[in-house]
Amino acid sequence: MDLYHPSEEFVARANVPRGDAHRQLMERAESDPEGFWGDLAESELHWFRKWDRVLDDAEAPFYRWFTGGRTNMSYNCLDRHCQTWRKNRAAIVWEGEPGEQRVLTYQELLRSVQRFASVLKSRGYGAGDRAILYMPMVPELPVAMLACARLGITHSVVFAGFSAEALKTRILDLEAGVVITADGGWRRGKVVPLKPAVDEALEECPSVRNVIVYRRVGNEVEMKAGRDAWWHDVDAGASEECPAAELDAEHPLYVLYTSGTTGKPKGIVHTTGGYQLQVSMAMRWVFDIKDEDTYWCAADVGWVTGHSYIVYGPLLVGTTTVMYEGAPDFPEPDRFWRIADKYKVNVFYTSPTAIRAFIKFGEDYPGRHDLSSLRLLGSVGEPINPSAWEWYHRVIGGGRCPIVDTWWQTETGSIMVSPLPGSTPLKPGSGTFALPGIDADVVDMEGNSVPPGGEGYLVVRKPWPSMFRTLWGDPGRFIQTYWSQIPGIYFVGDAARRDEDGYLWVLGRVDDVMNVSGHRLSTAELESTLVRHDSVAEAAVVGMPDELTGQAVIAFVTPIQGYDPTDELAAELREWVAQQIGKFARPKQIRFSDALPKTRSGKIMRRLLREIVTTQTVSGDITTLEDLSVINRLGAQQDEE
Ligand code: WT7
């Protein structure tokens, strides 16, 4: 396979150039991990009080980093930059879908954050409280996040595509005191209302005392007296001075919910000190950030990618982060390239699903714009197929930009496996190697490393600074899901291969979790949603390979006697899932069946359903199947091998 090497020009300017610099970094990290992270924490961040210990493993796997240290995310993202030449640098360059543009300098952002923090503080919120942020992609979302971080209010951003039902579950789980939202947002030229979902959710959420509503689109909304207030009203008279709280390094910065293998989403808890450090280092090592860069991560702030690489990472290192509100194909499929050209973006980060969509749109659209400012490209969220990689490299990168294929998870908080663009020779489709200080491995079920060329489970052997600390309200599930499969080491949930050269290839999930457009969806959550519908007796959900979205949701449904398996019912069920979880979870297909393949003990054999949707046949061992005729009734052939 052809290797892709960075140009001499790229290497000459790289933060970590190939050769000694890269080698020394890796060696130091390996021989003295605590000294390595400790030195970086000292040079990268501001601490109100220095830590006593870099890593405390007394209560492993509940690891603690920088114990005794006191710091503040908002201070590190804003105040310290405002004491330097950076104060008038653009922090956020925002473009709305209808075309408006706003530029917030570090000073302006700091003022806005202090005003909004004053608003929250004067309403009695502070360290130990939880806030829910349910907002479109406007600068006020990072403002709200940073205002919470400033006071120690743990925030939980709920992606605006989630339904009222999903919003309610999260508010209840966190017992949040305040909800920050907007009237709505823009998507493909249409208003997507948000406030009605908040009103619906809050009918059953007694913990919420205040709702603050940002006016984005100007649609009619109902305001509940005593509870709801407009952002612009409360912000107007607020104090522009609200000092950053000196928080413990382990203070919970945010909780972000992600799907697991049960019906209940997991509240991933991230803390402050270690998280700050590792996302900062990723900005330098992986995105190779320079003072003059304009950086754009085209994700949504509602997912972890947006937390770490639209908001916190870029602001920590004082770069300019581009934020775009809307759809990539509005008003035309060249919108991203128009933005990249207009703001002269240097570093661009997106997902394989988006890249595959661009390939479908055709080369004409990027061809209309000057993309010569780009010097580095990134990919995240799912494995990238080598042909999409090659297209991205050639058409968007003009053949000159290295691509960093970054593997990480909501749980890891920051990038774990990725090339260093000025050093690592690239193989399209491979995340290459673990970053300095990250001890990733591919192992068998006993925890033994697989030999070169082998496949196995991806694990992380040693704790890392940005690791999640627990699951909100459920430490037992934290231990059971992640630290018990192979005792004592972090079980990722992905399969991976390590090739003869030591390169890592992430193959996909090993559990009942799907990856649709780079978003995690739980089989169990979808199934329990379907069976809550009046017409459904039983449901089994599997992922089918999809050209565009990586995987697509296929639901096998057995209707209750008396309900006919009609197209109308299928449409109703698809809508039901959209309403209960969110539109992005809507199944691509509903397949009705009077029975599902089960083991004698009554477990649905999803493996067979996966094979049926992929190959229309079933092979391998089906001796545990209780009723063989089900296979034929599902329209599949039995492979005679
Ligand atoms: C899962 C994590 C990390 C932010 C977005 C998703 C898959 C992620 C890659 C990649 C192959 C990848 C894994 C992982 N994944 N990045 N570069 N190559 N697979 O965050 O929702 O927590 O999902 O996404 O399966 O476990 P998430």
Tens-digit pLDDT profile for residues 505-531: 999 888 888 899 888 898 888 998 999
Q: Shortest CA distance to 338 belongs to which of 304, 296, 299?
A: 296
Q: From the centroid of its chain, how far is CA 514?
A: 14
CA distance 16 to 453: 28
The interaxial angle of helices 195-202 and 164-174, nearest 10 deg, is: 50
**Closest CA to ligand 1's atom 5:** 381
> In sequence order, which residues have a C-beta less than 8 Å from that of residue 206 and are 6 or more positions away?
none
Task: Evaluate if residue 639 carries a pLDDT over 60.
Answer: no
Mutate to test the pocket of ligand 1, among 256, 304, 385, 409 (most ligand atoms within 8 A of CB): 409
Rounded to an integer, what distance in angstroms lies between the CA atom of residue 489 and that of residue 61? 8
Please give the distance, rounded to the nearest whole angstrom, from the Cα atom of residue 443 to the centre of ligand 1.
Answer: 19
**Has residue 579 been placed in a domain?**
yes
Ligand 1 midpoint to CA 183 (Å): 31
Residue range 277-297: mean pLDDT, rounded: 98
Q: Which residue, judged by its Cα, is nearest atom 12 of ligand 1?
A: 382
Which residue, judged by its Cα, is nearest atom 2 of ligand 1?
409
As a whole number, the mean pLDDT across the chain is 95
Distance 85 CA to ligand 1 centre (A): 37
Q: What proportion of the chain, given as a percentage, has pLDDT over 70?
A: 99
Residue 114 lies in a domain: no
CA of 513 from ligand 1 middle (Å) equals 11
Q: How far apart, in Å, do the first and last CA atoms of the chain sit? A: 33
DSSP state of 192: E
The protein residue with its alpha carbon nearest to ligand 1, atom 16, reads 381
Question: Which residue has tokens 């100007």?
Answer: 218
How much helix, strand and coil, in percent to the nearest 5, is found in the chain? Answer: 30, 25, 40
**Mean pLDDT, rounded, for 228-255:** 98
Whether residue 353 is predicted with pLDDT greater than 50 in this model: the reply is: yes
Q: List all residues whose CB is within 6 A of at least one atom of ligand 1.
A: 258, 304-305, 380-383, 405-410, 431, 493-494, 506, 509, 515, 518, 520
Binning pLDDT at 50, 70 and 90, where does residue 208 land? very high
* Nearest protein Cα to ligand 1, atom 8: 381
Shortest-distance atom of ligand 1 to CA 493: 26
- Residue nearest atom 14 of ligand 1, based on CA coordinates: 409
**8 Å CB contact between 491 and 467:** no
Give the CATH number for residue 582.
3.30.300.30
- 621 vs 112: which has the higher pLDDT: 112
Q: What is the mean pLDDT of residues 134-143?
A: 98
CB-CB neighbours of 532 under 10 Å: 12
281 Cβ contact list (under 8 Å, min separation 6): 40, 44, 414, 435
Domain span including residue 559 = 517-640
- Supply the pLDDT for residue 641: 40
Residue 612 falls within a domain, yes or no? yes
Across the range 421-447, mean pLDDT stands at 97
Residues 6 or more apart whose CB falls under 8 angstroms from that of 225 comprise: none
Q: Are 214 and 208 in contact (CB under 8 A)?
A: no
Distance of CA 300 from the midpoint of ligand 1 (Å): 15
Distance 20 CA to ligand 1 centre (A): 31
What pLDDT does 468 receive?
Answer: 98
In a domain, 631, yes or no: yes
How far is the C-alpha of 517 from the C-alpha of 633, rounded, in Å? Answer: 31
| Confidence band, pLDDT 50/70/90 cuts, at residue 442 | very high
* pLDDT of 620 higher than 80: no
**Within-domain flag for 105:** no
Nearest atom (ligand 1) to Cα of 415? 3
Residue type, 618: V
Q: 344 C-alpha to center of ligand 1: Å?
A: 28
Percent residues over pLDDT 90 in the chain: 88
Tell me the one-letter amino acid at 463.
P
Tokens, residue 268: 């991933």
Q: What is the CA radius of gyration of the chain?
A: 24
What pLDDT is stored for residue 430 in this prediction?
97
> What's the pLDDT at 469?
98
Ligand 1 closest atom vs CA 417 = 17
Rounded average pLDDT over 615-629: 75
Give domain status of residue 449, yes or no.
no
- For residue 125, how far is its CA from the centre of ligand 1 (angstroms)? 34
Give the model confidence (pLDDT) of 79-136 as tens digits: 999 999 999 999 999 999 999 999 999 999 999 999 999 999 999 999 999 999 999 9
Mind listing the pLDDT tens digit for each residue in 580-601? Answer: 999 999 999 999 998 888 877 7
Does residue 2 register a pLDDT over 90?
A: no
Which ligand 1 atom sits closest to the C-alpha of 506? Answer: 11
In which band, very low, low, confident or very high, does the pLDDT at 501 lie, cut at 50, 70 and 90?
very high
How many whole angstroms from 554 Cα to the centroid of ligand 1? Answer: 21
pLDDT of residue 163: 95
Going from the Cα of 383 to the center of ligand 1, the distance in angstroms, rounded, reads 8
pLDDT in tens, 15-39: 999 999 999 999 999 999 999 999 9
In a domain, 445, yes or no: no
Q: What is the mean pLDDT of residues 610-638?
A: 76
- Alpha-carbon distance of 86 to 155, in angstroms, equals 27
Distance CA 144, CA 311 (A): 11
Tens digits of residue pLDDT in 38-54: 999 999 999 999 999 99
Residue 520 Cα: closest atom of ligand 1: 21
Pick from 143-152, 202-211, 610-619: least confident: 610-619
- The span from the CA of 414 to the CA of 399, in Å, is 27
Number of H helices, E strands in the chain: 21, 32
Give the ligand 1 atom nearest the CA of 299.
Answer: 5
CA-nearest residue for atom 7, ligand 1, is: 382
Q: Which of ligand 1's atoms lies nearest the C-alpha of 492?
A: 26
- Decide if 18 contacts 285 (C-beta within 8 A): no
What is the tens place of the pLDDT at every residue in 547-578? 999 999 999 999 999 999 999 999 999 999 99
Q: State the distance from the centre of ligand 1 to the C-alpha of 541, rounded, in angstroms.
A: 20
| Res. 638 pLDDT band, cuts 50 70 90 | low
Best residue among 307, 520, 584 to mutate for probing ligand 1's pocket (most ligand atoms within 8 Å of CB) is: 520
Q: Which of 380, 514, 525 to mutate to test the pocket of ligand 1 (most atoms within 8 A of CB)?
A: 380
433 band by pLDDT with thresholds 50, 70 and 90: very high
How many whole angstroms separate alpha carbon 354 and alpha carbon 352?
5
Q: Which helix (H) or strand (E) is 191 found in, with range?
A: strand 190-193
The side-by-side arrangement of strands in the sheet containing 347-350 is 101-105, 90-95, 320-324, 294-297, 347-350, 376-380, 403-406
Pairwise CA distance, residues 546 & 521, whole Å: 15
Dig out the tokens for 387 from the structure. 């042909």
Centroid of ligand 1 to alpha carbon of 518 (angstroms): 7
**What's residue 597's pLDDT?**
87
CA 324/CA 296 separation, integer angstroms = 9
Single out the residue of 340, 171, 228, 303 nearest to residue 584, CA to CA. Answer: 303
Pick from 310, 377, 408 the residue to mutate for probing ligand 1's pocket: most ligand atoms within 8 Å of its CB: 408
How is 463-529 classified by DSSP, letter by letter? --TT---EETT-HHHHHHHHSTTTTTSEEEEEEEEE-TT--EEEEEESSSEEEETTEEEEHHHHHHH
For residue 95, what are the β-bridge partners? Answer: 101, 324
Instruction: Read off the pLDDT of each residue in 613-638 and give the average, rounded to a whole number.
Output: 75
- Establish if 588 belongs to a structural domain: yes
Number of domains forming the structure of the chain: 1
CB-based contacts of 220: which residues, under 8 Å, 6+ apart?
none
Note the pLDDT of residue 605.
Answer: 84
Tell whether the model's pLDDT for residue 634 goes beyond 90: no
